[in-house]
Chain A
Amino acid sequence: MAVPDVAVSLDEPWHLSPSVAIRPESFGALAYHFGNRRLTFLKRPELLAVVQGLDEAADVRTALANAGVPSDEWTAYVAALDSLASADMIRPRTGQDSAP
């Protein structure tokens, strides 16, 4: 699977990668990618809420707002989403879905 070579921006729609499963934990969640075998720790419950809300939100900005993340933390969250994107945990939503 191609790892998207794009940075996450507030105005884009994103979603969870189809090969990823998420397990909530009291510190946040574990995300596991069955394809590349990467285990990623989402260290805050708010980040979990953002990631889980990506699919329904029109764009990243909306997902952050829906999850109740204060706007002065958005830069940090976008950076977190960036590192999730580089591990193919989340992907840009392009209209036609590429689920396996």
Chain B
Amino acid sequence: MTALDLVTSSAVPSTLSALRAPRPAGGSLVQQFEYGLDAPICLTWELTYACNLSCVHCLSSSGRRDPRELSTAQCESVIDELQAMQVFYVNIGGGEPTVRPDFWHLLDYAVDHQVGVKFSTNGVRITPDRARFLASSNYVDVQVSLDGATAEVNDHVRGVGSYAMARTALTNLAEAGFKDAKISVVVTRHNVGQLDDFKKLADDHGATLRLTRLRPSGRGADVWDELHPTQSQQRDLYNWLLNAGERVLTGDSFFHLAGFGESLPGLNLCGAGRVVCLIDPVGDVYACPFAIHEEFLAGNVLESGGFATVWRTSELFADLRSPQTSGACTRCQFFDSCRGGCMAAKFFTGLPLDGPDPECVQGYGESALADPDREARSSSQDHSHRTTRAGVGPVPVEIGFGIPAPSAPPVHACAENPLAGFDPLGR
């Protein structure tokens, strides 16, 4: 590892201020973030649409590789650019990123260019050898996806054999001495009763549990109705998260649950295009990994000016960074923390973006979903395998919540380990 380039400032001048509504001086971090940053802090980069699995809720409808996927050299230039913009780390995903033959090279390349990597995997390539290699790097985080604490619940969503594969990967990582792997769980109607089991699994592997929200994105749109947690499960989830505190990561998944009453501290806003974005396998830049749709397409990294120009000058992002209207939500007493919830969830369920989230805990989403004129939308690309899998049917699961030890409230900033809301001067 070369010495880090420490306090140098970005050489690329900001062109943001010319494009947007004037940014207020001072104010809270949430207010500052609403006006966007010079570079994202939560950048997801999907390296390939190819995947060995066909999870029914895949947010990027992955399966088959796209022939236009970025070449190794093109990926390296993206990394060079991220380094220049001081994007401190990227979340690499897919598809299954490790099936790219140059994956391990790109990992090294990023780390050597001061871009830390957290990558998501279903575990397929995490052999004992690879696990040892990963354990030797200080700047790589690994996140293994698992959507059931038992094979029955997991494989129903992720496919036969996927539970065993993920468990093997976790065992390999633990045995290689890899510190603090993440176990990433999409919370569904079927696994929401297994939260304690997931936590125990994480603890047993020296890993950290990460819970995310099922969003109706990609193939998730097809199964959202039957898999998203019920209203009463959402309340259980909220209570569980309150108790689990900082020991469980949630990204920006659950700020819509603030409507249950007690406001959740942390960064409560949709970061799409402001602090969050996605680079997809062909280099397209979207406002958020859950918003792969033309309406949220800001540009492509192969255009002249590259990613920095897309991030800093796209009209779409300028719009997302200007004050938004929130319709009926502005009259809700929980608006300050919930802010109307997730833009992608609204979009793909066909709800207006300036209204309540489909899972609004005040129940306004349900009535909006009942609108007979509502038209759900689907992602503008589909790389699913052409084979079909058995449909999703009910899975018997006992619902039961233990009593997690009380602790601090959940973390919400998209960045997963920030001093969220850190305010050194108390203003």
Q: With a CB–CB cut-off of 8 A, which chain A residues contact B7?
A: 16, 21-22, 52
**Given pairs A26-B32, A43-B422, 12 additional interface contacts (CB within 8 A):** A16-B7, A21-B7, A23-B10, A24-B38, A27-B29, A27-B32, A34-B139, A35-B138, A37-B141, A47-B424, A77-B425, A99-B3
**B4–A34 CB distance below 8 A:** yes
Q: Please determine whether B5 and A41 come into contact, CB atoms closer than 8 angstroms.
A: no
CB of B116 within 8 Å of the partner chain: yes
Task: Tell me, rounded to whole Å, the shortest Cβ–Cβ distance linking B273 to chain A.
Answer: 16
Contacts of A18 in B (CB 8 A): 3-4, 6
- Find out whether the CB atom of A26 lies under 8 angstroms from the CB atom of B23: yes
Stretch from B161-169, B343-351, B413-421 at the A interface? B413-421
Tell me which residues across on chain B come within 8 A of A83, comparing CB atoms. Answer: 419, 422, 424
In whole angstroms, how far apart are the Cα atoms of A46 and B141 in the complex?
Answer: 33
- Bound together, the chains give a CA A77 to CA B423 distance in angstroms of 11
Contacting residues, chain B, for A30 (C-beta < 8 A): 37, 41, 88
Residues on A with C-beta less than 8 A from B6 are 16, 18, 20-22
Q: Which residues of B33-50 are within 8 A (CB) of A?
A: 37-39, 41
Task: Provide the A15-50 mask, 1 if CB < 8 A to any CB of B, else 0.
Answer: 010111111111100101011111111111001000
Interface SS majority for chain A = mixed
Partner of B418, one of A20, A39, A76: A39
The bracket for how many chain A residues form the interface is: 35 or more
* CB-contact partner of A43 in B89, B114, B116, B424, under 8 A: B424
A24-B10 in contact (CB<8A): yes
In the complex, which of the residues A19, A21, A38, A76 contacts B425, with contact meaning CB atoms closer than 8 Å? A76
Instruction: Provide the bound-state CA to CA distance between A47 and B39, in Å.
Output: 20
Contact B37 A76 (CB under 8 A): no
Contacts of A99 in B (CB 8 A): 3
A58: interface (CB < 8 Å) = no
Q: Which of A25, A35, A52, A87 contacts B38 (CB 8 A)?
A: A25
For chain B residues 125-165, which have a beta carbon within 8 Å of chain A? 138-139, 141
Instruction: Assess whether A43 is in contact with B29, with CB atoms less than 8 Å apart.
Output: yes
Q: Report Cα–Cα, A42/B9, bound state, in Å.
A: 14
Contact across chains for A80 and B425 when beta carbons are under 8 A apart: yes
Name the A residues within 8 Å of B17 (CB-CB): 26
Decide if A42 touches B38 in the complex (CB within 8 Å): no
Beyond A44-B425, A99-B3, is A23–B88 a contact (Cβ under 8 Å)?
Answer: yes
| Most A-side CB within 10 Å, residue of B89, B424, B425 | B424
> Across the interface, do B89 and A40 meet the contact criterion of CB distance under 8 Å?
no
CB <8 Å contact, A21 and B10: no
Contact present for A23 and B39 (CB under 8 Å): yes
- Given A16-B6, A21-B86, answer yes or no on A38-B38 (Cβ-Cβ < 8 Å): no
Q: Provide the residues of chain B in CB contact with A22, threshold 8 Å.
A: 6-7, 9
Q: How far is the CA of A30 from the CA of B89 in the complex (A)?
A: 13
Specify which chain A residues have a CB less than 8 angstroms from the CB of B425 in the assembled complex.
43-44, 47, 76-77, 80
Q: Which residues of chain A are within 8 angstroms of B23 by Cβ–Cβ distance?
A: 26-27
Task: Report the separation of the CA atoms of residues A40 and B424 in the bound assembly, to the nearest whole angstrom.
Answer: 10
Q: Please, which residues of chain B bring their CB within 8 A of the CB of A26?
A: 14, 16-17, 23, 32, 38
